[in-house]
Amino acid sequence: MSKIIEPDYLVHFKCIGGDCEDSCCIGWDVDIDQKTYESYKNVSDLRMKKQFDKYIYENDWITDPNVDFAKVELTQDKKCPFLNADKLCIIQKHLGEKYLSNVCTYYPRTVNKVNGMYELTLSPSCPEAARLILLNPDAMKMHEVEKPGKFPIITFDVDQKSKQYQKTLVAYFSEVRTICLDTMMHSYSPIEKRMHDLAEWVDRLQKLHNQRQTHQTPEVLLKFRNKEFDPGIFTSRTLKDYSDNMVQLLLPVDSETYTMFAEEASRGDFELGETIYSSYFSEKRHILDNYFVNLMVKNLFPFTEADQVWDAYMMLFTRFAIIKVQLIGIAGFRGELTDETVVAYIQSFSKVIEHHRTFVEKAVSHQKKNGFSKLAFIESAL
């Protein structure tokens, strides 16, 4: 049995298969681990073996044999060739679930190991997961459970007591992460203020790293207090300009749904949209709270998405800027925001940004080149 920390929403998750409005077998690379690949080579079903030989090939750029030893050649319309007309997997249908690859078995789950404890979350890039994560105000309450078996894919494995982290910020992983999560979970404050508070925390941590004074981290975490911040109810022009800039690095994408939303956002009445957005999220603030807390838990914020903690913060802020500005634009285009629209938008955005091969690298480079990657810019944009 393994001890696992997971959010409450995960208990209710179950893949809805062919009823899903956005199949995970469409528009994404499909990775095959080495063990599964070898089982395909030895399968006795001649019809399936012929399909495997035709569509599955060894990967020349393996990152982890438990993940991407081989790949599936997608069809011209970006679909997995093993997906039938009912959007069901013919591998599972004809051979059974044990013949699914690790990725296909565990998506949309993410498993991390932190100081010996497993942490399990879901990605909102899955429509059913997105509904569970976003719509329940109590979705991100965490609990500990025991489950059998081992996990073949561990996305991040961190032990802060490891010698390799002795003189780094990671040596204070739990303490730093707790403060970051506590800051984001203070839902009585506007999310803009929490984004601002996070920026000040992480900026201070980055300076400790740059000055090689990470041993002072406990003292800084104990004494540091956030400045007063009083965000307006309307989005600043700076935030909109920044979001538009970042979206240009993201587009074009294969997702018809996200492309539609992006087009609506660019055409919407922004002033009208601001009013609709503010009214909607005054009652539904848990939606964005849950999205960002889930993201921070899944990505071990602020330590894993980029080389530096400040770059990780900038990617969090970038998501916030794009989501807020585009939802305002969509609201201005449609004349309303509904739960269905917001969930569909965030799901499609998550699917695009999570699987974009170069966005993080391009965004971090662009931010630094154009002076966005500074605390002063964050303060001007929020």
**Are residues 294 and 193 located together in one domain of the fold?**
yes
- What does the pLDDT read at residue 146? 87
Q: Are 160 and 115 in contact (CB under 8 A)?
A: yes
Distance from C-alpha of 28 to C-alpha of 79, rounded to nearest angstrom: 8
pTM score, two decimals?
0.92
Distances from the Cα of 52 to the Cαs of 23, 40, 107, 340, in angstroms? 21, 7, 21, 38
**Are residues 228 and 350 located together in one domain of the fold?**
yes
* Pairing mode of beta strands 31-32, 70-72: antiparallel
Distance from C-alpha of 23 to C-alpha of 11, rounded to nearest angstrom: 21
**Are residues 333 and 315 located together in one domain of the fold?**
yes
- What does the pLDDT read at residue 356? 84
- What does the pLDDT read at residue 228? 65
**Are residues 265 and 152 located together in one domain of the fold?**
no
User: To which residue do tokens 């587009």 refer?
Assistant: 251
Classify the C-alpha dihedral 339-341-346-347 as positive or negative.
Answer: positive
Classify the C-alpha dihedral 44-47-53-57 as positive or negative.
Answer: negative
- What does the pLDDT read at residue 235? 66
CA angle at 270 for the pair 267 and 276, rounded to the nearest 5°: 115
Asked if the structure places residue 13 within a domain, the reply is: no
**Are residues 219 and 362 located together in one domain of the fold?**
yes
Asked if the structure places residue 285 within a domain, the reply is: yes
Domain containing 55: what range? 25-106
Instruction: Give the tens place of pLDDT for each residue, 19-77.
Output: 777 777 777 788 999 999 999 999 998 899 999 999 999 999 898 999 989 999 988 88
Amino acid at 143: H
Collect the ranges in the chain with pLDDT lower than 50: 233
- What does the pLDDT read at residue 355? 80
- What does the pLDDT read at residue 15? 81
**Are residues 226 and 255 located together in one domain of the fold?**
yes
- The count of structural domains within the chain is 3
Distance from C-alpha of 316 to C-alpha of 302, rounded to nearest angstrom: 9
Asked if the structure places residue 253 within a domain, the reply is: yes
Instruction: Give the tens place of pLDDT for each residue, 273-290.
Output: 999 999 999 999 999 999
Amino acid at 297: V
Instruction: Give the tens place of pLDDT for each residue, 111-129.
Output: 999 999 999 999 999 999 9
**Are residues 330 and 261 located together in one domain of the fold?**
yes
Buried b (16+ CB within 10 A) or exposed e, 148-177: eeebbbebeebebeeeebeebbbbbbeebb
- What does the pLDDT read at residue 220? 83
- What does the pLDDT read at residue 177? 94
